[in-house]
Chains A and B, each alone.
Chain A
Amino acid sequence: MEENSVHNNTISSRLVITMVILRVWLGGLFAYTGIQKIIHIVKFKDIIANYEILPYWMINITAIILPWLEFWVGIFIIAGIFVRASTIIQISLLLIFVATISFNIARGLDFSCGCFSEANTASGMNYQHIIFNMSLVVMASLLYFLERRRFSHSRTKISVQ
């Protein structure tokens, strides 16, 4: 019985460490990229225009809202507030980024992906971005499931007491 509880404690401490690492990495990255886009909003607007996907009337509003969405999602993930909801938004955003980058690679357009919008507008869209974003999707999904497990575990504990 005691051995079992020691084993459970080790698992839960490992789980917590993994979650903290994932939260700092995923949240920090999104908060940082969000800040970069907020600072360079005019450049970011041009990058959205370069994607040639959104209609003209949607470019400005996307340039205004999207960086703040990234920023707050990152902050919420780091702070541990609304983690599951934030990871769902993060995964959705990353999948949209992957789709748009793939679409433009397929069309032969080559310019900055806008991931870090202070970068040069000339080039930078390649398969590495897709692989990197997909690895972030995997990490965010892992964080979502770990968070759900932790959430349900703590609820069970409360209901048993």
Chain B
Amino acid sequence: MSRKFLHLLLEIILIIIVVIVSALITNELRADKIPLVPYYGTDFSYHTMSLNDFLRREKKNLQVFMFDARPHALYKKDHVTAAKNFPVSEFDFFYHLYLANISQDIPIFIYGRTLSNAYDLELAYRLYGKGYKNITVLF
């Protein structure tokens, strides 16, 4: 390996170290800090079901809630007809709008439409914390 290449590699490693240190320190110090890896505790559990199965089995059941956890702008563009928009970023507002007086036994289906399940898992976790244990995340 040439000396020039090693020199360049060393510079890249130094830059990466500076980046990681500054990113981690500032994230720790900020008020709206986000966890490095989402952790939902050990007692959090939910069911999973494919969207097609849900549409076949549950669509006509009026006693269930189906929520689309994505931001409103994305929901507005395209969503499953039965789904109500419940953006996880405005959890408190939508919780009071949809579920404030609803029994905690009611089945809740959450749909986030992303490969990584970022919105749906977060919404499921927060509803679980409110006492709703019959939660199914659709994929």
Contact = CB atoms under 8 A, between A and B. Distances in A.
Contacts of A72: 15, 18-19, 22
A42 B71 contact: no
Interface in A13-59: 38, 41-42, 45-46, 49-50, 52-59
A76 interface: yes
Contacts of A88: 8, 12
Interface of chain B: mostly helix, strand, loop or mixed: helix
B23 interface: yes
Given A56-B121, A57-B38, A60-B35, A85 B74 contact: no
Nearest to A55: B116
Interface of chain A: mostly helix, strand, loop or mixed: helix
A50 B74 contact: yes
Nearest to A88: B12
Interface residues of A, number: 38
Contact of A84 (B11, B23, B36, B38): B11
A61 B114 contact: no
B34 A45 contact: yes
Given A41-B32, A46-B71, A46-B89, A59 B116 contact: yes
Contacts of A120: 73
Interface of A: 38, 41-42, 45-46, 49-50, 52-61, 63-65, 67-69, 72-73, 76, 82, 84-86, 88-89, 110-111, 120-123
Given A60-B35, A85-B8, A121-B74, 20 more contacts: A41-B27, A41-B34, A46-B119, A50-B70, A50-B74, A50-B114, A54-B116, A56-B116, A56-B121, A64-B24, A64-B27, A65-B20, A65-B23, A68-B23, A69-B23, A84-B8, A85-B15, A121-B73, A122-B74, A122-B77
